[in-house]
Each structure stands twice: as C-alpha cells, then as structure tokens.
Amino acid sequence: MRPFLRDQPDDLQLFACEVEQLQAEIEDARLAGDEARLLAALGRAGDLCRALGQSRRAVDALEEAVALARTERDRARLAANLIRLGTAFQYADEHATAERFLREALALAEAEGLGPYVGFACQHLGKCLAEQGRYGEARDAFDRALGVRQEAGDRDLAASTRRALELLDRVEARAQ
C-alpha cells in the first residue's frame, strides 16, 4: 500500500509548538468544564499529531473528541472528528478501521444534511480506498466528492478532488 495524497506539514517545528499550546488549552478547558472549547482543541490537536506522524497521540485525542461530540450531540463536530479519526487510522495503516469511521461520518453527514462534510468524507474515503488498491470504489468516492463540491461552488475543494482523480488515473494505469 502506497500513501495517496497524504498531508505533509510545511513546518514540523511550528506544528509541534502548536500541539504543545493545544495541550495547555485542553487542560484549561478541562479545568473550566468548557466542553465546546475542549472539543475544538482535541480535534485540532489530533489533526496536527496525525500530520506529525504521532499516530497514537492523534487517535487518543480524536477518540476523546468523538466521544465528547457524541455526548454533546454536536452532529457537525461529530462528523468532522469522525473524518479526522478515520484519517488518523489511515495514516497508521489501519485501513479497515479508517474506512469504518469514514463511512460512519459519511452516513451521519448525509442523514443530517451536512453537505460540506459529505464532500470531505467522500474525499478522505477515496484516499483510503486508493491506498488499498480499490480504485473503482475510490473513483466513485472522488466523483461524489467532486459533485458535492461543485454544487456548493467551492472551486478550491473541487480542484483538489480533480487532482485526486488525475493521480488516481496515473496510479491505476501503473497498476495494470
């Protein structure tokens, strides 16, 4: 399995500093009982740790964020953090677990009418499937993400999905 369009931090040191700042934010939010602030900080910290290659730390933060979003019944943050958690498992090469969380995020986003999260879930699911060599399914996910993003008029995200489809074409051609 080869990585497919994985994020690479521009400045590792800056990301590491931001994670440490977020740890302080997480502790402050816990002490204050500010669950909304805690949820936001956990999600961001998990995302940064994933990008830094700190898989276990990312998963721990994001599992807590998902649990808190479920408790708070915050559907949008739950969808966002399920996508983040799925991506963290993908980066840890635990694709079956990643796929499960990404599909849960997609189902939630569809059921709740959270259009942008449908696009993000499809995009990340496509990447996960591509890494597993499931190119037809990946293409379907990317096509769906592209449709959602074009319908929303988001040119930047639509362009990102078009790049993913172009790369998928090249990867698939090499695999044949």
Q: What is the pLDDT of residue 153?
A: 96
Ranges of residues in the chain with a pLDDT under 70 are 1, 9
Phi, psi of 54 (to 5 degrees): -95, 70
Secondary-structure class of domain 94-176 per CATH: mainly alpha
Q: What is the pLDDT of residue 2?
A: 75
Phi, psi of 167 (to 5 degrees): -65, -40
Phi, psi of 151 (to 5 degrees): -60, -35
Tens of pLDDT, residues 94-132 = 999 999 999 999 999 999 999 999 999 999 999 999 999
Q: What is the rounded distance in angstroms from the CA atom of residue 112 to the CA atom of residue 45? A: 26
Q: What is the pTM of this model?
A: 0.93
Helix axes of 95-112 and 115-131: crossing angle, nearest 10 degrees: 160
Q: What is the pLDDT of residue 6?
A: 82
Domain boundaries, the chain: 9-73, 94-176
Q: What is the pLDDT of residue 14?
A: 82
Q: What is the pLDDT of residue 1?
A: 56
CA 133 centroid distance within chain? 19
